[in-house]
Amino acid sequence: MAEVLLFHHAQGQTAGFHAFADELRGAGHTVHTPDLFDGRTFGSIEEGMAYVEQLGFPAIIEAGERAANELPEALVYAGFSLGVVPAQKLAQTRPGGRGALLFYSCVPVEKVGSWPAGVPVYGLSPLLSWAQLCNPYAQLGAFGLAPGVFGAGLGSRFSAPYAHPQMTVGAW
């Protein structure tokens, strides 16, 4: 089973976010869910992103790094939307990573550095294809990082409510 560091989206640690983490825990995985917003949640993405603008992206990344530094290196880094920023940075720069799950977003690889060999990545958006999700960030494809079933034992099917009421993470 995997040990997962899961970062929330711009609305914070919502019920849907916790339900997703709990589903992974129910499957036997260890899931860490650091709160990048110190307990704040927001009713809309716009409100959450306004808060992020006040904090600044470096503060979000630093909070993610602090959370990771308290954990072992052999982690799967996962993030929803905004949470992809620290998840991807850690997957690309922290030694020992087992993989990355990037839901609803990605960062151009070169903004962080190169992608480490042996660290698989999986991207998912129910609304977009992988190419659309990362376009114009097709650099992931240049590194051979195509979508597929993640090999760390996270499973290939589960359903949990996402932060946005109209979205559900389905079979993948």
Domain ranges in the chain?
Answer: 3-169
Distance CA 143, CA 60 (A): 26
Q: Is pLDDT at 148 greater than 60 in this prediction? A: no
Between 59 and 114, the higher pLDDT residue: 59
pLDDT range class, residue 136, cuts 50, 70, 90: very low
Number of alpha carbons in the 13 Å side-chain half-sphere of residue 40: 14
Which residue, 103, 48, 58, 63, is CA-closest to 80?
A: 103
pLDDT given at position 124: 61
3-169 under CATH 3.40.50.1820, yes or no: yes
Alpha helix stretches (DSSP H) within 38-148: 45-55, 57-69, 84-93, 109-112, 130-134, 139-142
Q: Is pLDDT at 127 greater than 90 in this prediction? A: no
Global pTM reads 0.76
Average pLDDT score, the chain: 75
User: 73-99: per-residue pLDDT in tens?
Assistant: 999 999 998 999 999 999 999 999 988
Distance CA 54, CA 74 (A): 32
